Structure 1
Amino acid sequence: MGDVMHEPDPSPDAVPPDPELTAAAQDGDEARLLDAVRDWVERHVPGEWLRAARDGDLNRLHEIRTPEQYREWYPVLGRSGLVVPSWPVEYGGLGVGDTLARVVQAELAACRLTVLNVVGIALAAPTLMEWGTPEQCRRLLPRIADNTDTWCQLFSEPGAGSDLAGLSTRAVPVANGWRVTGQKIWSSFAHEAQMGILLARTDPDVPKHQGITAFALPMDQEGVLVRPLRKINGEAEFNEVFLDAALVSDENRIGEPGQGWPVARTVLAHERRMLSGAGSGVRERTSGSSVERLLELACREQDGRRPIDDPLVADTVAQLVVENTVLRVTNKRNRALGGRATDPGLIKIMSSEHNQRLQQAFLRLLGERGLAQEPGDAEAERIVFGYLRSRGDTIGGGTSEVHRNNLAERTLGLPKDPFSDNKLPWRDIQRGA
Structure 2
Amino acid sequence: MDDFRASAREWLADNLSGEYRHLRGLGGPGREHEAFDERLAWDRHLAAAGWTCLGWPVEHGGRAASLADRIAFHEEYARADAPARVSHIGEELLGPTLLAFGTDEQRKRFLPGIRHVRELWCQGYSEPDAGSDLASVRTSARRDGDDWVITGQKVWTSLAHLADWCFVIVRTDPGSRRHHGLSYLLVPMDQPGIEVRPIVQLTGTSEFNEVFFDGARTAADLVVGEPGDGWKVAMGTLSFERGAATLGQQVGFRRELDALVALATRNGAADDPAIAERLARARVGLEVMHAYAMRGTDASVAKLVWSRWHRGLGELAMDVIGAASMLTPDGLDEWQRLFLFSRADTIYGGSDEIQRNIIAERVLGLPREARS
TM-score, length-normalised on structure 2? 0.88
The answer on whether the counterparts of 1:288 and 1:385 sit within 8 Å (CA) in structure 2 is no
Partner of 1:309: 271
CA, structure 1 residues 166+57, in 2 after alignment: closer, same or farther (shift >3 Å)?
closer
Residue identity matched to 1:106: E
Residue identity matched to 2:76: E
Partner of 1:76: 45
Report the CA distance between 1:140 and its aligned residue: 1.5
SS at match of 2:234: helix
Of the candidates 241, 258, 261, which is equivalent to residue 295 of structure 1? 261
Of the candidates 53, 75, 93, which is equivalent to residue 62 of structure 2? 93
Of the candidates 38, 46, 64, which is equivalent to residue 17 of structure 2? 46
Matched, 1:318 2:270: no
Residue identity matched to 1:231: Q
The answer on whether the counterparts of 1:128 and 1:254 sit within 8 Å (CA) in structure 2 is yes
Write the mapping of 1:33-432 to structure 2, written as runs, cut at 5 A.
33-41=4-12, 43-47=14-18, 66-113=35-82, 114-271=84-241, 273=242, 280-281=246-247, 283-284=249-250, 290-299=256-265, 301-302=266-267, 306-334=268-296, 342-375=297-330, 381-419=333-371
Question: Once the two structures are superposed, what CA deviation does each residue of 1:331-373 show, in whole Å capped at 9, x if it has no partner?
Answer: 0111xxxxxxx22112211211111111111122222442223
Distance 2:22 2:233 in 1: 43
Question: Once the two structures are superposed, what CA deviation does each residue of 1:409-429 show, in whole Å capped at 9, x if it has no partner?
Answer: 222222223455xxxxxxxxx
Number of aligned residue pairs: give it. 366
Distance 1:195 1:361 in 2: 38
The answer on whether the counterparts of 1:286 and 1:390 sit within 8 Å (CA) in structure 2 is no
Question: Once the two structures are superposed, what CA deviation does each residue of 1:49-104 show, in whole Å capped at 9, x if it has no partner?
Answer: 55995xx999xxx9xx9444222332111232213322223433222222222333
The answer on whether the counterparts of 2:127 and 2:153 sit within 8 Å (CA) in structure 1 is yes
The answer on whether the counterparts of 2:56 and 2:96 sit within 8 Å (CA) in structure 1 is no
Higher relative contact order (CA 8 A, sep 6+): 2
Distance 2:215 2:92 in 1: 29
CA, structure 1 residues 67+182, in 2 after alignment: closer, same or farther (shift >3 Å)?
closer
CA, structure 1 residues 287+374, in 2 after alignment: closer, same or farther (shift >3 Å)?
farther
Question: Once the two structures are superposed, what CA deviation does each residue of 1:135-176 show, in whole Å capped at 9, x if it has no partner?
Answer: 322322232234322221111222323442232222111222
The answer on whether the counterparts of 2:23 and 2:39 sit within 8 Å (CA) in structure 1 is no
SS at match of 1:220: coil
Residue identity matched to 2:339: Y
CA, structure 1 residues 416+52, in 2 after alignment: closer, same or farther (shift >3 Å)?
closer
Distance 2:207 2:302 in 1: 24
CA, structure 1 residues 370+147, in 2 after alignment: closer, same or farther (shift >3 Å)?
farther
Report the CA distance between 1:237 and its aligned residue: 1.7
The answer on whether the counterparts of 2:78 and 2:252 sit within 8 Å (CA) in structure 1 is no
Distance 2:69 2:137 in 1: 41
Structure 2 stretches lacking a partner, 5+ long:
none
Residue identity matched to 2:249: R
The answer on whether the counterparts of 1:224 and 1:246 sit within 8 Å (CA) in structure 2 is yes
Residue identity matched to 1:92: G
SS at match of 1:281: helix
CA, structure 1 residues 163+96, in 2 after alignment: closer, same or farther (shift >3 Å)?
closer
Residue identity matched to 1:133: T
CA, structure 1 residues 44+89, in 2 after alignment: closer, same or farther (shift >3 Å)?
farther
Distance 2:118 2:247 in 1: 22
SS at match of 2:221: helix
Determine which structure has more spread, i.e. the larger CA radius of gyration.
1
Q: Percent identity?
A: 34
Report the CA distance between 1:43 and its aligned residue: 4.9
Report the CA distance between 1:285 and its aligned residue: 8.6
Report the CA distance between 1:130 and its aligned residue: 1.1
Residue identity matched to 1:116: V
CA, structure 1 residues 364+146, in 2 after alignment: closer, same or farther (shift >3 Å)?
farther
CA, structure 1 residues 281+217, in 2 after alignment: closer, same or farther (shift >3 Å)?
farther
Partner of 1:424: none
Mean alpha-carbon deviation: is it higher for 323-332 or for 242-251?
242-251
CA, structure 1 residues 345+307, in 2 after alignment: closer, same or farther (shift >3 Å)?
same
Question: Once the two structures are superposed, what CA deviation does each residue of 1:14-57 show, in whole Å capped at 9, x if it has no partner?
Answer: xxxxxxxxxxxxxxx742x445435544554334755995xx99
Mean alpha-carbon deviation: is it higher for 197-206 or for 238-247?
197-206
The answer on whether the counterparts of 2:78 and 2:248 sit within 8 Å (CA) in structure 1 is no
Distance 2:368 2:91 in 1: 34
CA, structure 1 residues 313+217, in 2 after alignment: closer, same or farther (shift >3 Å)?
same
Distance 1:220 1:66 in 2: 23
